[in-house]
Structure 1
Amino acid sequence: MPLTPYSLYLVTDEQQDLQTLLKVVEQAIQGGVTMVQIREKHHDIRAFINKAAAVKTLLARTNVPLIINDRVDVALAMDADGVHLGQSDMPVELARQLLGPNKLLGLSIENEQQLKQANHLPIDYIGLSAIFATPTKSNIKKQWGLAGLENALTQTTLPIVAIGGINKTNISAIAQTGVHGIALVSAISHASSPKQAARELTLLLAQSPPL
């Protein structure tokens, strides 16, 4: 897998309290995580801002970008490095106008039609969801699988981040497709040692060149 900022992309577990989440993020970075996305879908905006501010402070000592899930307003308030949007969030054209040209903008892609449309959108990368079934996302519209991921890589010039059901048992096969990044929640956030989990995953990525 090519080395990119998206290589090992941690998406936080919104069910974890702030102290736990900060411990996970700190350890994950020590283990090799290259990007962090804060996800907060079910709590109030103030809680989201407080969480984002705490993580931003933690990341200030690193070169790891901070991405905000869904909320452009929170990203702007925090001067985060970027935003990741879903298909039902703010239109990416408007998000790009608000964010300006220098912030990262990602978009979740759930089917082939959306993938085709993404080539004409002002985004920096695609989050291809879901590669496999996952308990952290209950409304999955499509499981791409390895074959679907490989095909998606031929349909766009945009970087693709694979997400959904990825762990140490299948990350090597995902990396060998040549995908630009791999996003994980449970495999790191729920590990007994997030640092060790991230380190093991980083090692597996390094040992899995594209076929």
Structure 2
Amino acid sequence: MKKLAGLYLVIDPSQEHESLLNKLKAALKGGVDIVQIWDHWPENQSKEAKLKFIKRAKELVMDFQVPMLMNQDWRLALETGLDGVHFDRLPADFPTIQAKLKDQYIGLTVTNDMEAVLMAEQNGLSYISFCSVFPSPSVESCDIVQPESIKKATKISNMPIFLSGGINQKNLEQLKELPFHGIAVISGILNEADPEAAAKKYKEKLQY
């Protein structure tokens, strides 16, 4: 499996699905490298509706040869044949789950706690994502990550590092002195009038 890097788009399935899929296609045209489905479904969303949405989203990303991951719900990822799972926290029975996710990407959200980074390294995860580098309403549960924490992670792990939380076109430049392999974005692409153009701008700024 190739190491993940670049522009990581998190899509929010609580949004109207037809519109969201159109935005996803545009963002893929703009150069998105990885897609994650956030485990944030509309209240009382049926299993059938979830499966239908994932199938359509998966068809889009396959056209662009981009990996798609599921947030937290590893069972749904397996059932729909996605490329992996991103965990906000590792389940208590993670060793059992990891065995079922063989040959798939597994990522983990981390903050300033180096124990979590070390745990990800010891378990051979695919990447870690620091949250939150800037204040963001979509990541209220995350602490603000200190730059030193990101630098420390490179000393105890060789995993790709992603940065997430409140990243936009204006503040991205503030991160260029930090060691990272990609950024995760939600509203910075999905809330733009032209998601394709927004994705292209992020890609250009990532070419340090």
TM-score by length of 1: 0.87
Q: Compute the displacement of 1:17 (Å).
A: 0.9
Contact 1:96 1:122 in 2 (8 A): no
CA RMSD of aligned residues (A): 2.0
Contact 1:93 1:122 in 2 (8 A): no
Cα-to-partner distance string for 1:75-95 (whole Å, 9 max, x where unaligned): 111111111112164643222
Q: Residue type of the partner of 2:32?
A: V
Q: Which residue of 2 aligns with 1:119?
A: 121
Which whole-Å CA distance do the structure 2 matches of 1:176 and 1:28 have between them? 26
Alignment of 1:142-157 (within 5 A): 142-157=143-158
Which whole-Å CA distance do the structure 2 matches of 1:176 and 1:16 have between them? 34
Percentage identity across aligned positions?
26
Q: Compute the displacement of 1:96 (Å).
A: 1.6
Which whole-Å CA distance do the structure 2 matches of 1:155 and 1:114 have between them? 11
Q: Which residue of 1 aligns with 2:65?
A: 63
5+ residue gaps, structure 1: none
Question: For residues 84 and 127 of structure 1, do their structure 2 counterparts lie closer, same or farther at Cα, with a shift above 3 Å needed?
Answer: same
Query: Which deviates further from its counterpart, 48-57 or 68-77?
Result: 48-57
Q: Compute the displacement of 1:188 (Å).
A: 0.6
Contact 2:150 2:179 in 1 (8 A): no
Q: Residue type of the partner of 2:14?
A: Q
Question: For residues 137 and 5 of structure 1, do their structure 2 counterparts lie closer, same or farther at Cα, with a shift above 3 Å needed?
Answer: same
Q: Residue type of the partner of 2:179?
A: G
Q: Compute the displacement of 1:42 (Å).
A: 4.1
Q: Residue type of the partner of 2:89?
A: Q
Q: Which residue of 1 aligns with 2:4?
A: 5
Q: Which residue of 2 aligns with 1:19?
A: 18
Q: Which residue of 2 aligns with 1:105?
A: 106
Which whole-Å CA distance do the structure 2 matches of 1:36 and 1:69 have between them? 10
Contact 1:38 1:67 in 2 (8 A): yes
5+ residue gaps, structure 2: none
Cα-to-partner distance string for 1:18-48 (whole Å, 9 max, x where unaligned): 1111011101111111010011334444433
Q: Which residue of 2 aligns with 1:192?
A: 193
Q: Is residue 34 from structure 1 mapped to residue 36 from structure 2 by the alignment?
A: no
Which whole-Å CA distance do the structure 2 matches of 1:4 and 1:194 have between them? 25
Matched residue pairs, number? 203
